[in-house]
Structure 1
Amino acid sequence: MFAQRLKQLRKSRKLTMQEVADYVGVAKSTYAGYESGYRQPTIESIQTIAIKLRTSADYLLGLSDHPDPPEVNHNAKQYLNYEQLHWDGVPLEKEDIALIFSLLDRVLRDRPKTS
């Protein structure tokens, strides 16, 4: 499955074997071995290939069926809207989360302005 997905995704991203091999830091013949299933890349190489192909290592390894990973959102406000938050196993109530929102609002309000 790895070799098939690797080849299919590389082609769909319109990349040559040489481009991916150069990015990973291996010879084109080594990379070709990955796509044919003759060679197995290191974990580090799989991670680097995933970055170049704009996918996840999970997809390449068959652990996910989604080649395009979702965008990661780092907005803390959205995380705090999650209904099942806990702190070391103790569930947070709506009032607890409201207090956290207030605290963060105050931190940002009181932060010195930078130019």
Structure 2
Amino acid sequence: MFAKRLKQMRKKRKLTMQEVADYVGVAKSTYAGYESGYRQPTIESIQTISRKLRTSADYLIGLTDYSELPAEVNHNAKEYLNVEQLHWDGVPLEKDDLDLIRNLLDRVLRDRALTKEE
């Protein structure tokens, strides 16, 4: 399964064997052995290959059938706090609550910046 998925993803990303081999730091013949199933890469090489192919190592080795990586999650708290319908353990947060939280976080970050300057 690994060899088949490896070749499939390389072709899907329109990459040559040489391009992937160079990225991984192995000879083209070594990489070709991975795609034919003749050779088995190290765990580190599988991780590197998965980065180049923009897929997960779990997909390549058959632990999942999802070849695409999940969309990047935005963890910017400021954007979350601009959502109108937030709650804390089921208790709705009012606009005033959110304003207070935003002001508190702004203060924490200003204080942190001042501390670093000293």
Normalising by the smaller structure, the TM-score range is: 0.7 to 0.9
Kindly state the Cα deviation for residue 66 of structure 1 after the two structures are TM-superposed: 1.1
Alpha-carbon distance change, 42 to 103 in structure 1, aligned in 2, over 3 angstroms: farther
Kindly state the Cα deviation for residue 28 of structure 1 after the two structures are TM-superposed: 0.5
More helix as a share of residues: 2
Residue aligning to 2:5: 5
TM-score of the pair, normalised by structure 1? 0.73
> Percent sequence identity over matched residues?
62
How many residues align? The count is: 102
Spell out, residue by residue over 1:39-96, the C-alpha distance to the aligned partner (whole angstroms, 9 max, x if none).
Answer: 0000000000000001000110111111111113142539xx9x9xxxxxxxx7334x
Residue aligning to 2:104: 107
TM-score of the pair, normalised by structure 2? 0.71
Kindly state the Cα deviation for residue 102 of structure 1 after the two structures are TM-superposed: 7.0
Question: In 1, distance between residues paired with 2:36 and 2:99?
Answer: 56
**Runs of 4+ with >4 A deviation:** 101-104
Kindly state the Cα deviation for residue 38 of structure 1 after the two structures are TM-superposed: 0.5
Deviates more, 1:67-76 or 1:1-10: 67-76
Which secondary structure does the structure 2 equivalent of 1:55 belong to?
Answer: coil
CA RMSD of superposed structures (Å): 2.9
Question: In 2, distance between residues paired with 1:39 and 1:104?
Answer: 55
Structure label with greater radius of gyration: 2
Which secondary structure does the structure 2 equivalent of 1:26 belong to?
Answer: coil
Match among 74, 93, 98 for residue 89 of structure 2: 93
